[in-house]
């Protein structure tokens, strides 16, 4: 990353240098390696006097990273050495010429061990892995421990990722735009690849490797066939070469009709031998250029994309045909379960399950089905997807959306850690109590070895990568929780805040508190009590619960909330759409009854009268309004908390967050007022005492339009 700017502020009259003020623009992410003063800095220096390591491509990166981190935090650059001394960092993998100081058994290809111990009679810290990539992960972990204040003289850590595939999905188009991207254009400069490989690619790899992310799907799931042409394969290969020493593999999204579009085949029927042969030849061509190519991601028969169903074949037929093409090379196919059809009148929340559940057991062993965290679409809150726990014979991978299409896009501070955690900890009850979603996707529930988790990236060419400083935390949290799905959102927020701002508890504590409440605040001011999908058409920016005239029923917010004079909510119980019946029977039973449904999901599963009593004793109507009020108030509180941090945060990043919180507050109020104005027009009820009337009449909200909202596919 670029050298930081140190600007010495000279008091002009006295000509006395004050301490350096660091200008920061967020480019360095959580890898700032800012100076750590006092005892904390001294202990880092004492435990990193020299670095002893061989010099493979990945170990060279590990050494460099340690030097950079230690140099930055302490001001003293540790020397590279062949000799072990007191305070050395000893990097060891299977290639090590010295005897291994710690066992690497069970660490797998990615894991690491870090241990304070005596080697050759000297107290050192060993960072070991079975592979050089494992050591690299260990080096980043040691830096994280050092920069978050761990006691470096008694380390004994062994860590292996619980999930095998930890991938970013870029919804990046070949023309440089990013679908649902709010951080500027794509970082892939397809036009100038493979000849020009700018420094951002390496910085991208560093950031991901520091979290243990080990793969990246380069192009949008709404794919163009062109990314499979020789020219684009060469471009992808250039990126793969850069990412390889960081332990990151490249994958591609494919368009189902590529054989027809690129080579004039008559069909894309997966059972047509000519089609299968085309894909096999294509896979061979890709692997020639990218020997460790990861495999394909497929969006088929979804939102207008072609797929095997166009030929009356199943998703399994399609996935297995592609799987056979990559299998000889060790590749995999990630087949998305995000499907719903325009001619299917069934509850949209049920359609993926209906399509995929019957296919359980029919997928090839190098296919993994990629399932969004909820059954509709990355809403501020959704109950976990009913497919988790329902396909025991099929490996399922999680798809989260890191980019915040529905959670305030680039400007709202809505930390996604709590959302990730809530879903991972949800109990499917599929095999009795404790059958959490985390255990489904880490393979432990059903004994699957192919495991994965994907996050739709929030990365673009914005200087701060993610459209805002706080959005970086979502990338960070995704990576950390992909490695260890048992990490809490709060622990991850602490690490991130310490590295991103300062390890000073007076900084970390209030920032973590802001982050931890922020997602619930967004749920409150957007879609409380289980409401969903009531945002503006297409761009999904801002409230539009009134929209009812779009061609397909499930495009309309009124389809989702079903508010009328009597009540509100989508009846998904056994007497309604029976989406509850897609969950394990013990859970379905709970969800069929509003009293045993978690209140946060109430209106997702139930259509209830406005006078229904919430747990608090207030009516549903009053409670709904109070949630909206609380959401706005929570944002105001974040503004106050942030203002108090001004002395501790560098000016540029402080100002960005301050400005974005002001936008968030204005928009939270807009969400609240627009939703209340609309729901009141339907319910005809007075607002509870103390709740302010919306600032404008309903028509004013309806009249707002946002033709240039970002991230929206045109």
Minimum distance between the CB of residue 713 and ligand BDP, rounded to whole angstroms?
6
Task: Assign 3-class secondary structure to 128-162.
Answer: ECCCHHHHHHHHHHHHHHHHCCCCCCCCEEEECCC
- 3-state class of 286 per DSSP? helix
Q: Which is nearer to ligand BDP, 278 or 604 (CB)?
A: 604
The residues near 145 (Cβ < 8 Å, ≥ 6 apart) are: 114, 152, 155, 157
Select from 445, 391, 352 the least CA-distant residue to 163.
445
524 is catalytic: no
Q: Which is nearer to ligand BDP, 78 or 467 (CB)?
A: 467
Q: Where are the alpha helices (DSSP H) in 489-572?
A: 489-500, 505-526, 557-561
How far is 26 from 7, CA to CA, in rounded Å?
Answer: 17
Minimum distance between the CB of residue 405 and ligand BDP, rounded to whole angstroms?
6
Q: Which is nearer to ligand BDP, 363 or 378 (CB)?
A: 378
Residues that bind ligand BDP (CB under 6 A): 179-180, 221-222, 299, 303, 338, 377-378, 405, 713
Answer whether 621's CB lies under 8 Å from 680's CB.
Answer: no
Catalytic residue among 355, 405, 422, 673: 405
The two structure tokens encoding residue 197: 């490989």
Minimum distance between the CB of residue 369 and ligand BDP, rounded to whole angstroms?
14
Find the helix or strand (DSSP H, E) in which 251 lies. strand 249-254
Q: Which is nearer to ligand BDP, 303 or 564 (CB)?
A: 303
- 3-state class of 328 per DSSP? helix
How far is 366 from 165, CA to CA, in rounded Å?
Answer: 12
Q: Which is nearer to ligand BDP, 144 or 381 (CB)?
A: 381
Task: Name residue 115's beta-bridge partners.
Answer: 126, 156
The alpha carbon of residue 436 and the mean position of all alpha carbons in its chain are separated, in whole angstroms, by 19
The two structure tokens encoding residue 30: 């959580």
Phi, psi values for residue 518, rounded to 5°:
-75, -35
Q: Is the previous residue joined to 194 through a cis bond, with omega within 30 degrees of 0? A: yes
Q: Which is nearer to ligand BDP, 179 or 601 (CB)?
A: 179
Contacts 24+ apart (CB under 8 A), 326-331: 326/283, 326/287, 326/293, 326/295, 326/296, 326/366, 327/364, 327/366, 329/283, 329/284, 329/287, 329/291, 329/293, 331/283, 331/287, 331/293, 331/294, 331/295, 331/296, 331/366
377 is catalytic: yes
Task: Assign 3-class secondary structure to 70-111.
Answer: HHHHHCCCCEEECCCCCCEEEEECCCCCCCCCCCCCCCCCCC
Q: Which residues of 288-298 are buried (b: 16+ CB within 10 A; e: fewer)?
A: ebbeebbbbbb
Q: Which is nearer to ligand BDP, 460 or 623 (CB)?
A: 460
The two structure tokens encoding residue 206: 């560093």
Other Cβ atoms closer than 10 A to 361: 10
Q: Which is nearer to ligand BDP, 180 or 665 (CB)?
A: 180
The two structure tokens encoding residue 48: 């990193």
How far is 104 from 131, CA to CA, in rounded Å?
Answer: 9
Catalytic residue among 303, 486, 564, 611: 303
554 is catalytic: no
Q: Which is nearer to ligand BDP, 185 or 267 (CB)?
A: 185
How far is 174 from 255, CA to CA, in rounded Å?
Answer: 13
Q: Looking at residue 383, what DSSP letter applies?
A: P
Answer whether 137's CB lies under 8 Å from 110's CB.
Answer: yes
Minimum distance between the CB of residue 308 and ligand BDP, rounded to whole angstroms?
17
Q: Which is nearer to ligand BDP, 87 or 710 (CB)?
A: 710
How far is 151 from 154, CA to CA, in rounded Å?
Answer: 6
The two structure tokens encoding residue 682: 């339907």
Q: Which is nearer to ligand BDP, 233 or 522 (CB)?
A: 522
Minimum distance between the CB of residue 562 and ligand BDP, rounded to whole angstroms?
21
Catalytic residue among 33, 377, 462, 464: 377
The two structure tokens encoding residue 315: 């998703």
How far is 587 from 435, CA to CA, in rounded Å?
Answer: 12
Q: Which is nearer to ligand BDP, 185 or 222 (CB)?
A: 222
What order of strands is seen across the sheet that includes strand 88-92?
79-81, 50-52, 88-92, 122-128, 112-119, 156-159
Contacts 24+ apart (CB under 8 A), 505-511: 506/648, 507/645, 507/648, 507/649, 510/641, 510/644, 510/645, 511/645
- Residues annotated as part of the active site: 303, 377, 405
């Amino acid at each position: 990353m670029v050298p930081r700017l140190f600007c010495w502020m000279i008091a002009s009259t006295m000509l006395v240098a004050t301490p350096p003020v660091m200008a920061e623009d967020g480019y360095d992410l959580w890898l700032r390696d800012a100076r750590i003063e006092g005892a904390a800095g001294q202990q880092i220096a004492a435990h990193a006097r020299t670095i002893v390591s061989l010099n493979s491509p990945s170990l060279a990166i590990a050494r460099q990273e340690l030097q950079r981190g230690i140099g930055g935090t302490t001001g003293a650059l540790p020397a590279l050495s062949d000799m072990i001394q007191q305070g050395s960092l000893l990097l060891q993998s299977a290639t090590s010429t010295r005897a291994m100081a710690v066992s690497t058994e069970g660490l797998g290809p990615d894991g690491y061990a870090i241990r304070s111990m005596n080697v050759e009679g000297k107290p050192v810290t060993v960072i070991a892995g079975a592979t050089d990539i494992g050591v690299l992960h260990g080096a980043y972990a040691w830096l994280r421990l050092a920069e978050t204040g761990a006691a470096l003289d008694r380390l004994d850590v062994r860590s292996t990722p619980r999930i095998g595939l930890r991938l970013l999905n870029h919804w990046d188009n070949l023309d440089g735009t990013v679908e649902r991207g709010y951080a500027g254009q794509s970082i892939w400069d397809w036009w100038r690849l493979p000849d020009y490989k700018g420094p951002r690619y390496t910085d991208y790899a560093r950031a991901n490797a520091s979290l243990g992310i080990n793969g990246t799907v380069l192009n949008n799931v709404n794919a163009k066939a062109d990314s499979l042409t020789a020219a684009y394969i060469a471009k992808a290969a250039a990126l793969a070469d850069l990412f390889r020493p960081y332990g990151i593999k490249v994958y591609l999204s494919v368009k189902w009709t590529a054989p027809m579009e690129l080579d004039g085949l008559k069909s894309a029927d997966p059972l047509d031998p000519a089609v299968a042969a085309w894909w096999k030849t294509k896979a061979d061509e890709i692997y020639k250029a990218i020997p460790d190519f990861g495999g394909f991601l497929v969006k088929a028969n979804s939102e207008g994309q072609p797929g095997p169903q166009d030929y009356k074949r199943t998703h399994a037929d399609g996935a297995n045909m592609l799987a056979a093409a990559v299998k000889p090379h060790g590749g995999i196919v990630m087949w998305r379960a995000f499907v719903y059809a325009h001619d299917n009148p069934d509850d949209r929340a049920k359609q993926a399950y209906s399509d995929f559940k019957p296919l359980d057991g029919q997928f090839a062993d190098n296919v993994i089905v990629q399932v969004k965290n909820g059954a509709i679409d990355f809403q501020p809150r959704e109950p976990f997807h009913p497919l988790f726990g329902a396909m025991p014979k099929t490996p399922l991978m999680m798809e989260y959306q890191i980019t915040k299409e529905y959670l305030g896009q680039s400007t709202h501070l809505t930390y996604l850690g709590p959302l990730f955690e809530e879903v991972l900890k949800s109990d499917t009850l599929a095999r009795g109590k404790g059958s959490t979603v985390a255990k489904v996707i880490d393979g432990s529930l059903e004994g699957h070895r192919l495991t994965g988790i994907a996050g739709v990236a929030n990365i673009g060419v914005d200087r701060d990568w993610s459209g805002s400083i706080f959005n970086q935390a979502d990338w960070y949290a995704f990576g950390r929780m992909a490695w260890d799905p048992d990490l809490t959102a709060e622990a991850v927020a602490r690490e991130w805040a310490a590295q991103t701002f300062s390890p000073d508890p007076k900084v970390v504590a209030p920032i973590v508190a802001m982050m931890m409440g922020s997602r619930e605040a967004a749920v409150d001011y957007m879609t409380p009590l289980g409401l969903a999908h009531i945002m503006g058409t297409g761009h999904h920016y801002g409230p539009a619960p009134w929209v009812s005239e779009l061609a397909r029923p499930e495009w309309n917010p009124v389809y989702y909330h079903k508010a009328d004079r009597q009540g509100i909510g989508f009846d998904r119980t056994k007497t309604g759409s029976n989406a509850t019946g897609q969950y394990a029977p013990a859970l379905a039973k709970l969800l069929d009854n509003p009293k045993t449904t978690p209140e946060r999901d109430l209106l997702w599963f139930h259509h209830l009268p406005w006078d229904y009593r919430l747990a608090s004793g207030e009516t549903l109507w009053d409670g709904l309004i109070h949630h909206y009020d609380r959401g706005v108030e929570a944002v105001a509180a974040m503004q106050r908390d942030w203002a108090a941090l001004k002395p501790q945060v560098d000016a540029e990043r402080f100002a960005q967050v301050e400005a974005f919180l002001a936008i968030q507050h204005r928009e939270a109020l807009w969400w609240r007022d627009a939703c209340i104005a609309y729901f009141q027009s339907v319910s005809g009820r007075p607002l509870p005492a103390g709740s302010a009337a919306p600032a404008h009449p309903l028509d004013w909200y309806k009249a707002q339009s946002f033709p240039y909202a970002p991230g929206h596919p045109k």
